[in-house]
Amino acid sequence: MEPRLHASVKQALLKEYTPRKNTFSGMDATNPTTPDPPRNQSTRSRANRLPRHRVLETLREALDGPFDLSIDRKAEAQYYHMQTRFIHIGFDGKRTGLETYLLRLGCTPAAISGKTLDEYTCREFGVQLGSDRLATLPVLQHFTYQFDYLSGVGGKGPMFGIPQEPFEGLKDDRGNRLAPDVCYATYNNFVDFHALSDVFPRPLKHIKGIEELKAVGDRIVYPGAFTEAPVSLKGVVRPGSVFRNGELSLELKGVSLVDDRPCALVNYDSGESTLRMAFMQGETEDMVTEGGSEYTGDLYIDLESGWVRKVTLNESVVTQSNTVSRPNKIPGYTVRHILLRLISQQDFEKPISALS
């Protein structure tokens, strides 16, 4: 069922604040004999606006809800661009490193392809370390797989159905081998993408999910709260490595516009989370990293199509790392930012650097 407030919110946010004009004549519809104000005029005439109280009344009525976030996604191909930035900061407050990852991913819904699951194809993947040039990863170009929500649950199958083999021993377009932590971060970009676009925003059938949010201010503790997710990667991060969510929650904050489309604005927050990872340093020892994390961000869900149009994430991570041969623990502090955007097919086909 389409949300009741879709049309009224769009009217309030898009139309009520703008002058009503006769599109064909170029005249003000309230006074056909008066030419429109110059296009470069910085303020609109009050006479061309609806009364403020009417605008606010329309918004209040629309935002009263109830919302219906059990939206079935439209069977249309979707195209996304995601930028992830890791900023490493010393405990003296100075930046010690920067990594940027760019992911271009397209989705063909199962309803179109005729396959059992939605299919995703990576158009291109880019990595920039510090101020170095933006490198691309040839092995991930046209990398295709089917998203499986249940894969990886209980350790059965790869997380979300993402094959891990392409991420082992990654090399860039100049043949340079990437460091193990960069290989893992590259793989984790795909995991993060699906958590943000295919997990949090999707209604759940047998347990309570986002569809429980009916009114602005509603908040739920998500089923993934206080659960452990495997974060291993063959040949890079040893099995048994986990990320444990805190009180993961979703809150309906209101309605916003993205690309002139009304979107439900839903905040997610992981709560105080923990992690323990063992990075393989060779055959003899591992680099063990333990620490705490909290991530939060906003989902902008198109109220008509059901697809996310925009997602943000901001995370702070504090860790300590050591090996058997170097037992003194090394502290680390990292801030991570993600911006995920729905883009056109035309932009999807452009080089990865075009939207960086």
User: Which range (217-226, 245-254, 274-283) has the least confidence?
Assistant: 274-283
What is the 3-state secondary structure of 140-163? HCCEEEECCCCCCHHHCCCHHHCC
* Same-domain pairing of 151 and 207: yes
* Same-domain pairing of 260 and 136: yes
124 near 352, Cβ under 8 Å? yes
Residue 26, pLDDT above cutoff 90: no
Q: Measured between alpha carbons, how far is 262 from 300 in angstroms, rounded to an integer? A: 9
* Same-domain pairing of 13 and 147: no
Higher pLDDT, 299 or 59: 299
Q: Measured between alpha carbons, how far is 48 from 316 in angstroms, rounded to an integer? A: 47
Distances (CA, A) of 147 to 11, 64, 79, 234: 36, 35, 15, 19
* Same-domain pairing of 181 and 52: no
Residue 182, pLDDT above cutoff 90: yes
Tell me if 256 is assigned to some domain.
yes
Which amino acid, residue 316? Answer: S
259 near 239, Cβ under 8 Å? no
Closest CA to 260 of 45, 14, 12, 91: 14
Residue 173 burial (10 A CB sphere; 0-12, 13-18, 19+): middle
Structural domains in the chain (count): 2
Distances (CA, A) of 154 to 142, 193, 226, 228, 348: 29, 20, 15, 10, 35
Higher pLDDT, 108 or 31: 108
Percent helix, strand and coil across the chain, each rounded to 5? 20, 35, 40
* Same-domain pairing of 38 and 144: no
- H or E element, residue 95: strand 95-108
Q: Measured between alpha carbons, how far is 57 from 262 in angstroms, rounded to an integer? A: 18
Closest CA to 182 of 193, 174, 171: 171
* Same-domain pairing of 180 and 279: yes
Q: Measured between alpha carbons, how far is 338 from 185 in angstroms, rounded to an integer? A: 13
Contacts of 331 (CB under 8 A, 6+ apart): 91, 318, 319, 320
* Same-domain pairing of 24 and 121: no
**pLDDT grade, residue 48 (50/70/90)?**
low
* Same-domain pairing of 19 and 105: no
* Same-domain pairing of 210 and 344: yes
Tell me if 245 is assigned to some domain.
yes
CA torsion, points 223, 224, 227, 233, in degrees to nearest 10? 150
Q: Measured between alpha carbons, how far is 141 from 121 in angstroms, rounded to an integer? A: 8
122 near 137, Cβ under 8 Å? no
Tell me if 1 is assigned to some domain.
no
**pLDDT grade, residue 28 (50/70/90)?**
very low
Give the range of the structural domain holding residue 59, as residue numbers without chain letter.
6-63
What pLDDT, on a 0 to 100 scale, did the predictor assign at position 99? Answer: 97
Residue 268, pLDDT above cutoff 70: yes
Tell me if 140 is assigned to some domain.
yes
Tell me if 71 is assigned to some domain.
no
What pLDDT, on a 0 to 100 scale, did the predictor assign at position 219? Answer: 97
* Same-domain pairing of 150 and 205: yes
**Residue-wise pLDDT tens digits, 139-177:** 999 999 999 998 887 667 899 999 999 998 899 999 999
* Same-domain pairing of 108 and 223: yes
What pLDDT, on a 0 to 100 scale, did the predictor assign at position 100? Answer: 97
* Same-domain pairing of 221 and 330: yes
Alpha helices in 121-220 (DSSP H): 180-194
Tell me if 97 is assigned to some domain.
yes
Q: Measured between alpha carbons, how far is 270 from 337 in angstroms, rounded to an integer? A: 15
Tell me if 13 is assigned to some domain.
yes
**pLDDT grade, residue 10 (50/70/90)?**
low
Residue 11, pLDDT above cutoff 60: no
Task: Tell me the average pLDDT of the chain.
Answer: 86
Tell me if 70 is assigned to some domain.
no
